[in-house]
Every structure is written in structure tokens, then in C-alpha cells.
């Protein structure tokens, strides 16, 4: 019997027998003591040469394990983690990479003991600070008047919506010569009218159904299903199934965005139907019509849609139950943050301000929110003695300086290609042709200008693909992808 096994066996045996002996086993009083094990870890200490860094910068964090006397323990193995990976990540050997502004808590664990170090990521402040780390890569040209770009779930193809009434496909890096769908005979293109939106439901791969949003030859809004044909690159133009229609009072402020949200429901953006404040006639503040609202409906059963039971005005007498939020002038583009589920609405302004309104998923996603138009534009009252009670004010607004006139996109970047943009809210302006960013949560801060993302043209829309990478569509018929440089 080995000395270790002897000592483990004989001590409880002797205690049980009530005996007081000095030895045990064949060696009598000369029993050998077991080899001492490694000292237990009492504390883990993390250090770094600098705990404040900027996005895209790195810092090496060191970890040291100490025993109960404070002496270092050699050759200890650590498990590294970041409690806030959206702000900064950490490698298996403690190299921290900053992603976006905020505070990151880095931990190193030995056994059951962890050490913590706070790393502050301070983004650059004030435009122009975007630098030349990003740029634009041409994806397609000669598209006519592209207004939107999207993809079916899990599909590498890009689908480009042309105001004139066609949907074009970019496949394997090339623009296909024939349109996926041609609705030109059905579409009015006067002023802000046209083929405005496209959305693919989660089950598109099996159902072949998709949704379009356009203004018909009478200038009225139509949202409808279409079906793909036996050729996956061609839709059946005779397959229309109308979901809803809305008679428009004028050619402006038609909205246009449609998207299937994280909840699987179809979300539809509609403008106030006017061209000027005086033409609104109170529609955006009324719950009795769909104008100036975000609608939310269930189309899983087909064009005969149903109302989600948690829509905010289901039980409000006289209110349209499809309405999710209202008080919007022209919610041209809105999006869901694919990480948090938050809703970001780019609402085109009138006199002085462009707005980004936010519905936080943690706070009900803007359920029942009144965004103020046309009582207010951003924080400005437009009517004498306007009642501001119950108004949801913009998360961010910018003025009409330097030729700015209309916000054309609001997306939180969640792609992998450009870590510096991770978690930033990216938006663009049609007239000014620039792309800016602010922080998507907390204080948005001063906008950062990205001069290398300006296409030298009017920006009709921003968009994103299945990987969360961003695109820029321009009035001159081109579509660009935002890429690292």
C-alpha cells in the first residue's frame, strides 16, 4: 500500500477506534507525509498599461494569481471574458479590442476566483472624425431610381427596388438583365410616389411569398403579396393578392417602408398624405385613419390579415386597430436593431428638423407612442399652446443646415466587416448626400461625419443585408456597399 493510501485509510480508522498512535502501516512511526498540493488561488489581479482606449485600438491585459499570503502563483491558467462584448472583446490571452464607445468589464478566472478590470472606450467626438477607414464599393449601376435594397432570409442575392416599378437582382456580384418583378404598368411615379418597399417573410424559402408597397396609377397606396415563379430569379406578375389599400389625398408623404419585425409581424410605414404642414388636416394625430402611422399586422394566414392582440388600440373605440405608433410626418425608412430589437424610425421633417425616433424593446417598442406631428416638429411647437403631454420626443434630431433636407435611413450597424461602426446608429440625408453616425443608446452625442461614404449624389436610402452590412442607394441609379478600407 502506498504511503498516500495508507495515510488516507489509517487516520479515519484510528479516529474511529479512539486510539492515539504516532504511526500507521508498515513504516510504524516513520510514515511519510503526502506531497503538498498547489497553493489555492485567493485573488486574481488584472493590470493594463492603459485602461482608456479608442474604437479599433487594442490593449494587452495581464493577469496574476495570488495565494492567501499575497505571493504570486506561477503557471496559472486563466479563462478570459468580456461582460460587455458589444463595447470591447477579449482574446484567450487577454488582448482587448475596442469596438464602440462605452465601458467594458474584462474578467480573468482561475479556478473559482475572478479578477476584473474596467476598460473605457472613448469614441472620437464631433465631425469630421470618421476618417478613411471605410469606403464605398459599387454593387450595381444603371438601376434607374433605386429606393431600397434587401434580401430574403438566408439568401445571398440582393434585391433592389426601383421607383419606376421594377425589382432587380444582384446575383454572384452581377446585376441580372431581367427584372425579378416588373410592376411598371401599375405604378404611379409622380413626386414621392412609386414602388417604395419590399419585404420577405421569414418563410419565404418555402412559401415563395413576398410583399411590395407601391402607389398605384391613381396615386393610392397598395400593399400586396406576390409569389415567385418556378424560376427563383423571376416573380409571377399575375399573382398579386392585395393586403390593404389607402386612398391618398396627395402625391407626397406616402411612407414606403415595410419590414417583417423580430415578432414575425408585418410593419408598414405610412406618411401623413400631405406635402406641407397645412395639408395634414390633423391626420397624423388621428387614430381614426392610418395616416402618419406605423402599422403592425399579422399576414401569416395570407392577405386577409389579422390584428395582433397586443396592438395598443385594439380596444380603443373609433381607433384603427392596425396602428402601433402615430404622430409621424413621413417615416420613409425604419429598422430594427438586429441585436437589441429596438425600433429606429427616420421621420422626414418639414421646417427645421429631421428626426430619429426610437422604440426600445425593453420599454415596449414604442407601443402606442405619439411622436408629435403635426402638433410639433421635434421639440418645436407648430401650433399655439400645443399640448405636449404624452408626446414621445426624438432620440436624435438634426437641422436643415448645410443643404440637409430629408433623412433617408436609420440603421444600427451590426455587421462584422467594420468593427469601428459596431453599435453605431448610421443615418443619411437625401439633399446633403452625407452619411453620419451617433451612439445608438444612451446619449447619442455629436454626429460623426463619414466623408468617404458620401457618394457625390442624392442618397435615396440606406439598407442592410442578411449579414448586417450596409448599403447606400443613390438617385443616379447606383447602389454601393459600405466596406472597410
pLDDT at 457 over 90: yes
Q: What is the pLDDT of residues 305-328, one digit of tens each?
A: 999 999 999 999 999 999 999 999
Residue 32 pLDDT grade (very low, low, confident, very high; cuts 50, 70, 90): low
Q: Among 33-42, 262-271, 378-387, 419-428, name the one with the lowest average pLDDT.
A: 33-42
Q: What is the pLDDT of residues 180-215, one digit of tens each?
A: 999 999 999 999 999 999 999 999 999 999 999 999
Angle CA(164)–CA(194)–CA(434) in degrees, nearest 5? 90
Of 161, 159, 366, nearest to 261 (Cα)? Answer: 366
Q: For residue 106, count CB atoms less than 10 angstroms from its CB and return exposed for 0-12, middle for 13-18, buried for 19 or more.
A: buried
In Å, how far from its chain's centre is CA 276?
31
Residue 16 pLDDT grade (very low, low, confident, very high; cuts 50, 70, 90): very low
- Grid cell for residue 439: 451612439
Residue 218 pLDDT grade (very low, low, confident, very high; cuts 50, 70, 90): very high
Of 344, 472, 474, 351, nearest to 405 (Cα)? Answer: 351
Backbone angles phi, psi at 85, to 5 degrees: -65, -20
User: CA–CA distance from 304 to each of 94, 228, 243, 267, 298 (Å)?
Assistant: 55, 19, 7, 15, 9
**pTM passes above 0.95:** no
Residue 124 pLDDT grade (very low, low, confident, very high; cuts 50, 70, 90): low
Contacts 24+ apart (CB under 8 A), 416-420: 416/467, 416/468, 417/469, 417/483, 417/484, 418/133, 418/134, 418/482, 418/483, 418/484, 419/55, 419/56, 419/97, 419/99, 420/55, 420/56, 420/99, 420/100, 420/133, 420/134
Buried b / exposed e over 6-27, threshold 16 CB at 10 Å, is: bbeebeeeeeeeeeeeeebbee
Q: What is the pLDDT of residues 105-119, one digit of tens each?
A: 999 999 899 999 999
Q: Average pLDDT of 463-467?
A: 97
Residue 1 pLDDT grade (very low, low, confident, very high; cuts 50, 70, 90): very low
Do 209 and 235 touch, CB atoms closer than 8 A? no
Residue 345: the pLDDT is 98
Q: Among 285-299, 373-387, 397-411, 424-438, name the one with the lowest average pLDDT.
A: 373-387
% of the chain beyond a pLDDT of 70: 89
pLDDT at 27 over 70: no
Q: What is the pLDDT of residues 237-282, one digit of tens each?
A: 999 999 999 999 988 899 999 999 999 999 999 999 986 545 678 8
Angle CA(371)–CA(375)–CA(381) in degrees, nearest 5? 105
pLDDT at 7 over 70: no
Average pLDDT, the chain: 90
pLDDT at 5 over 90: no
How many residues would you count in the chain?
A: 485
Residue 258: the pLDDT is 98
Backbone angles phi, psi at 370, to 5 degrees: -110, 115
Of 322, 378, 324, 369, nearest to 350 (Cα)? Answer: 378
Bond preceding residue 435 cis, omega within 30 of 0: no
Do 378 and 430 touch, CB atoms closer than 8 A? no
d(CA 96, CA 179): 47
- Grid cell for residue 60: 494587452
pLDDT at 178 over 90: yes
Q: What is the pLDDT of residues 329-342, one digit of tens each?
A: 999 999 999 999 99
Q: What is the pLDDT of residues 396-409, one digit of tens each?
A: 999 999 899 999 99
Amino acid at each position: 500500500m502506498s504511503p498516500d493510501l495508507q495515510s488516507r485509510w489509517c487516520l479515519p480508522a484510528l479516529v474511529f477506534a479512539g486510539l492515539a498512535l504516532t504511526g500507521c502501516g508498515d513504516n510504524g512511526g516513520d510514515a511519510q507525509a503526502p506531497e503538498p498540493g498547489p497553493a489555492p488561488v485567493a485573488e486574481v489581479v488584472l493590470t493594463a498599461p492603459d485602461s482608456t482606449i479608442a474604437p479599433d485600438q487594442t490593449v494587452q491585459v495581464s493577469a496574476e494569481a495570488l495565494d492567501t499570503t499575497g505571493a504570486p502563483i506561477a503557471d496559472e491558467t486563466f479563462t478570459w471574458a468580456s461582460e460587455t462584448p458589444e463595447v470591447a472583446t477579449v482574446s484567450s490571452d487577454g488582448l482587448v479590442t475596442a469596438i464602440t464607445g462605452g465601458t467594458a468589464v474584462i474578467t480573468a478566472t482561475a479556478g473559482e476566483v475572478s479578477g476584473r478590470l474596467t476598460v473605457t472606450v472613448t469614441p472620437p467626438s464631433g465631425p469630421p472624425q470618421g476618417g478613411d477607414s471605410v469606403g464605398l464599393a459599387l454593387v450595381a449601376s444603371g438601376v434607374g431610381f433605386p429606393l431600397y435594397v434587401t434580401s430574403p432570409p438566408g439568401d445571398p442575392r440582393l434585391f433592389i427596388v426601383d421607383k419606376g416599378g421594377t425589382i432587380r437582382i444582384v446575383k454572384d456580384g452581377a446585376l441580372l438583365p431581367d427584372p425579378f418583378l416588373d410592376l411598371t404598368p401599375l405604378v404611379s411615379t409622380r413626386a414621392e410616389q412609386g414602388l417604395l418597399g419590399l419585404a420577405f417573410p421569414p418563410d419565404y424559402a418555402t412559401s415563395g411569398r413576398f410583399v411590395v408597397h407601391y402607389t398605384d396609377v391613381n396615386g393610392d397606396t397598395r400593399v400586396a403579396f406576390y409569389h415567385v415563379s418556378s424560376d427563383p430569379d423571376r416573380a409571377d406578375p399575375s399573382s398579386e393578392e392585395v393586403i390593404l389599400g389607402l386612398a391618398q389625398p396627395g402625391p407626397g408623404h406616402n411612407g414606403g417602408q415595410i419590414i417583417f419585425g423580430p415578432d414575425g409581424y408585418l410593419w408598414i410605414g405610412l406618411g401623413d398624405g400631405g406635402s406641407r404642414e397645412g395639408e395634414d388636416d390633423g391626420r397624423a394625430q388621428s387614430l381614426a385613419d392610418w395616416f402618419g402611422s406605423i402599422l403592425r399586422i399579422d399576414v401569416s394566414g395570407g392577405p386577409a390579415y389579422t390584428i395582433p392582440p397586443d396592438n395598443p388600440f385594439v380596444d380603443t373605440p373609433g381607433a384603427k386597430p392596425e396602428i402601433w405608433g402615430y404622430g409621424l410626418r413621413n417615416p420613409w425608412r425604419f429598422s430594427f436593431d438586429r441585436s437589441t430589437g429596438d425600433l429606429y424610425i427616420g421621420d422626414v421633417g418639414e421646417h427645421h428638423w429631421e428626426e430619429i425616433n426610437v422604440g426600445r424593446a425593453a420599454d415596449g417598442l414604442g407601443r402606442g407612442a405619439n411622436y408629435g406631428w403635426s402638433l410639433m416638429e421635434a421639440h418645436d411647437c407648430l401650433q399655439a399652446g400645443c399640448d405636449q403631454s404624452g408626446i414621445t420626443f426624438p432620440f436624435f434630431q438634426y437641422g436643415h443646415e448645410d443643404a440637409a433636407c430629408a433623412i433617408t435611413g436609420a440603421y444600427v450597424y451590426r455587421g462584422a466587416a467594420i468593427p469601428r461602426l459596431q453599435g453605431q446608429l448610421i443615418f443619411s440625408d437625401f439633399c446633403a448626400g452625407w452619411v453620419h453616425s451617433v451612439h445608438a443608446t444612451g446619449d447619442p452625442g455629436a454626429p460623426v461625419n463619414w466623408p468617404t461614404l458620401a457618394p457625390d449624389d442624392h442618397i435615396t436610402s440606406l439598407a442592410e443585408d442578411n449579414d448586417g452590412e450596409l448599403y447606400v442607394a443613390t438617385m443616379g441609379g447606383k447602389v454601393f456597399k459600405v466596406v472597410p478600407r
